[in-house]
Structure 1
Amino acid sequence: MTDNTLKILLIEDDMIEIMKFNRTISSLQLNHKIIEAKNGEEALDILNEKNRIPDIILLDLNMPKMNGIEFLNILKKDDVLKYIPTIILTTSSNRKDMLECYKIGIAGYIIKPLKFENYVKNIERLLNYWSCNELIKG
């Protein structure tokens, strides 16, 4: 179903995590379009090209140059970009980080599980939800 295809901006500095995400998308046989950014600065450059606006953003918190919370603060101040659902995908189970992210306005917070099969299940649930979400479809 082409109308359920998402344009996903993955902001992640770890190449292994990027490969793991892409492997998950392939194994689930999903046709989502993945745009990769290695850090918040690169992501903002991509988002400034208005023809590349993603449906959702998956954001790691622990990154060089600009961490996820710094990126979120910039994103949520932009009148157009602030509406893009942003889901944190991180290893950080720090409650303070989680509460700060929700305060800024994220759509979800997922801690990367250690087991690959659990990671795949979480990503599948996440993408199934956003594929049928009215905000995206409209």
Structure 2
Amino acid sequence: MADDDEDDRLLAKDALEECRLANDLHFVVDGEDLMDYLYHRGKYAQLIKSPRPSLILLDLNMPKKDGREALQEIKGNPELRPIPVIVLTTSKAEEDIYRTYDLGANSYIAKPVTFESLVSVMKTLGKYWFEIVELPLNEAG
């Protein structure tokens, strides 16, 4: 999950734990940090500590490199492109919705305002992405 807001990260972690989906959750704080994680640079150089994600939850409005720029880079890289990217952001702007889908986002979700709603969204995401759809195996199998 890439999100610069610590409270949002904690709420997402709690919601995922409540759904029993937080087995291997990794957080990054901005788009640059996300790309370092995906390319195994800097503090993420050890593959064991930064495994390839099965899914990326991406906030749009982050410092350094925002979610739109990170999404464009991910979907422009043949090795990273297969990773599903779910935009989870406060923005409900139609322009953001159209642009992120145009850049290759797999889903766009406005962050729910209540914890109960967030739990419901996380349950639905988990069921859809990890039980219903067939995803390609990553290099770790």
Classify the secondary structure of the residue corresponding to 1:38. coil
Deviations 1:36-86 (A, max 9, x none): 100010111110129421000000001011111011111111110011100
Root mean square deviation of aligned Cα: 1.6
Give the TM-score normalised by structure 1: 0.87
Q: Is the 8 A contact 1:55 1:85 kept in 2?
A: yes
How far off is 1:31 after superposition? 4.5
Distance 1:47 1:119 in 2: 26
How far off is 1:136 after superposition? 5.0
Alignment of 1:93-132 (within 5 A): 93-132=92-131
How far off is 1:126 after superposition? 0.7
Instruction: Report how many aligned residue pairs link the two structures.
Output: 129
How far off is 1:16 after superposition? 0.1
Q: Is the 8 A contact 2:82 2:136 kept in 1?
A: no
Q: Is the 8 A contact 2:21 2:126 kept in 1?
A: no
Unpaired runs of 5+ residues, structure 2, are none
- Match in the other structure for 2:25: 34
Bigger strand share:
1
Alignment of 1:55-94 (within 5 A): 55-94=54-93
- Match in the other structure for 1:20: 11
How far off is 1:111 after superposition? 0.5
Change in 2 beyond 3 A, CA 1:115/1:100: same
How far off is 1:30 after superposition? 2.8
Distance 2:111 2:25 in 1: 18
How far off is 1:25 after superposition? 1.6
Unpaired runs of 5+ residues, structure 1, are 1-9
Change in 2 beyond 3 A, CA 1:76/1:131: same
